[in-house]
Structure 1
């Protein structure tokens, strides 16, 4: 919640009697203004500019410097960053302290690369880069910082990409450090803190990227990507914090939806067969095992209503291409959109209602383009399509507004009971 939002909305809250003026002042005091935050960033920005200036001077004269001087510069900058971070942390400036520690971690990785180049080790051994990931994960456990939790995840992606693209190997150690090291750090945050949803989303994206690199390097069918992707989804089903679990599940669901959408748009021929169809028993067995793990997590956490998410993983690519495949995939897209709308209506969640509406409209657009493009005159095609989408949008917005209004009225009526001797309030239109 931002201070600008509080400054704009809280006067109306006070006028409506939701909070008192004293409570409003306490809320505003809890969130410092953006100007105060910006002033707090000035030392960090100044340190970065000074560091960049020194770095540009050193980089311009790097090749002419003696080897001991190069090593001394790398070691000195590393120690200075870590010492500066500890100094600011002890003075209570967590933002600058964690920023300098993160800068030290980046310098550590750069020192590994430059030292390897100095002694002709680049391209032959990945152990140095792996040490970079290890140090990053250790730092995330030593300090309670979102930035220091995110850095090893990002570094792991960079190291894995280098390993697969430059060395032609997949580093399972890097994958394990990110999945188990950073993953456990996110799963069990510091005492008194909730799991960070941003870290969850980036962690899922990192694991999905590494899964895609593994599929590309092993020349496997690209649908094998969804086995590790849905393992990440299943992990979200087991997380006790629902918001954090859904953040972890977001990237796998987006990937599955885009795959189903692509199948509906471009699956009319059998040209995809060589890329998408893995051995039936092996693939379906692995997918069923992950599905069982997900269902067990949903049952344990009481979230079986989200089981229709798995509709997107129905292996329709085993069907022959053509109109039947397009229609079957469109049915799946409609069923998934309907499940999202149904859950949103039951829970009264405005964001999920909007998402379900968008998914429903997208499925309708795909169906319209796929099934009527060849049968209608182009001008008539666009006219009917525009009227259809406008009508559908109006209807869904009206339904959403009615359900949300009914939910708010129910909550308001049940939460506040009138006093026995008080007069009923005047009716509002």
Structure 2
């Protein structure tokens, strides 16, 4: 699939051929697109990062396999040497303009830091559990990301924060407290992501926040929390569609904030319906709201985002399957609901088509 800059350059060439702009203007536009193009990871860079992760894991496994045969002082020195080699070596490669391999070595250093926490804790029988180790790993990786201004390290820290949230919040075998500290960690990583220019980290943080609210719903009161999640997500979607410049100035995720709003809405409505599945009246109302939300997302933002369209289609299909399963005992009621929903959607489609035709025909009827 062509990148944004490639598509814009094709449009610029077409505008020149049609005489809409001059050659000088086309050159200026092309230079501006190239200057502001976001550098994406190449396939070679991705392979380098994956190789670094595998390399770090292999080293830690080798150390762990021969752990008992290595003197304690040598163990600690080896672990710290591995961390130092990863970070210092990565900085050296970055200064030599080897961006991909520098980031890869930094990930090796972060992996070595995480493995060191576990191995040293085991060696000295330190108190704590896996969740605390992951939290320490997350904080250390976040500090390294800020100090080195590394996007991949920021993504790694966001992933570790999400893992800590899952390990802490979903411990069903004991009554663990809700990890509200995650909000502070997410806020800090969000600010760091501005500094490191990591859009991927912000995407991951937004998805993790949806998971945090879902955890609150499970632990506290399902209906009001999930309803609030759906409502806030719908408002966020509306703001992102109607005020794209203002919301993008905060989110900075290439205009994909509506996608996260739709995901939050669908998750909230799905959990709400799962809770009220035994009450037919509210269930039908919630299902109608979910269908309407998916259709509204397609109408308002589907034209600009292929990912949003697919999420809306998937949400619509899953909602349809849920309604069928929930009303399986009353086939007549299911048929009536689907018939009514189909009629409403057909009427809505007719209105939308007519409005779009008038909007498209309006510029042609204007006198020049």
Common fold, TM-score beyond 0.5?
Answer: yes
**Residues 330-341 of structure 1 aligned to structure 2 (within 5 Å):** 330-337=287-294, 339-340=296-297
Over the aligned positions, Cα root-mean-square deviation in angstroms equals: 5.3
Evaluate the alpha carbon distance shift between residue 26 and residue 147 of structure 1 in structure 2; reply closer, same or farther with a 3 A threshold.
same
Give the alignment partner of residue 253 of structure 1, picking from 257, 262, 265. 265
User: Residue 85 of structure 1 contacts residue 99 of structure 1 at CA under 8 Å; is this kept in 2?
Assistant: yes
Matched, 1:121 2:126: yes
Aligned to 1:220: 220
Are residues 1:142 and 2:127 paired?
no
Aligned residue in 2 for 1:10: 10
In the alignment, is the contact (CA less than 8 A) between 2:67 and 2:75 conserved in 1? yes
The 3 A distance-change label for structure 1 pair 361 and 81 is: closer
Preserved CA contact (<8 Å) 1:136 1:152 = yes
Q: 1:92 is matched with which residue?
A: 97
Deviations 1:189-218 (A, max 9, x none): 249x6x83x4333213323334445665xx
Deviation at 1:78, TM superposition (A): 0.4
* Length-normalised TM-score, structure 1: 0.59
Per-residue Cα deviation, 1:272-329 (whole angstroms, up to 9, x for no partner) = xxxxxxxxxxxxxxxxxxxxxxxxxxxxxxxxxxxxxxxxxxxxxxxxx2x4334333
Question: Counterparts in 2 of 1:196-235, with a 5 A limit?
Answer: 196=199, 198-213=200-215, 220-223=220-223, 225-226=225-226, 229=229, 233=233
Residue of structure 1 equivalent to 2:182: 175
Per-residue deviation, 1:256 = 1.3
SS at match of 2:177: coil
Q: How many residues align?
A: 346
> Is 2:231–2:265's contact at 8 Å kept on the other side of the alignment?
no
Farther-moved stretch of structure 1 (365-374 vs 47-56): 365-374
Tell me how far 1:175 sits from its aligned partner. 1.3
Q: Structure 1: 5+ residue runs without aligned partners?
A: 268-320, 419-429
TM-score, normalization: structure 2? 0.67
- Mapped to 2, the partners of 1:221 and 1:32 lie a distance apart of 43
Match of 1:185 in 2: 192
**What secondary structure is seen at the aligned counterpart in 2 of 1:123?**
coil
CA–CA distance in 1 between the matches of 2:78 and 2:222? 46
CA drift of 1:149 comes to 2.2
Ranges in structure 2 where 5+ consecutive residues have no aligned partner: 252-256
Measured after TM superposition, the shift of residue 407 of structure 1 is 4.7
- Distance in 2 (alpha carbons) for counterparts of 1:37 and 1:410: 44
Distance in structure 2 (CA, Å) of the matches to 1:354 and 1:54? 41
2:285 to 315, 322, 328: 328
1:224, distance to aligned residue in structure 2 (A): 5.9
Q: Computing the radius of gyration over CA atoms, which structure comes out larger, 1 or 2?
A: 1
Structure 1 residues 133 and 57, CA, compared in 2 at 3 Å: closer, same or farther? closer
Aligned counterparts of 2:324 and 2:8: Cα–Cα separation in 1: 43
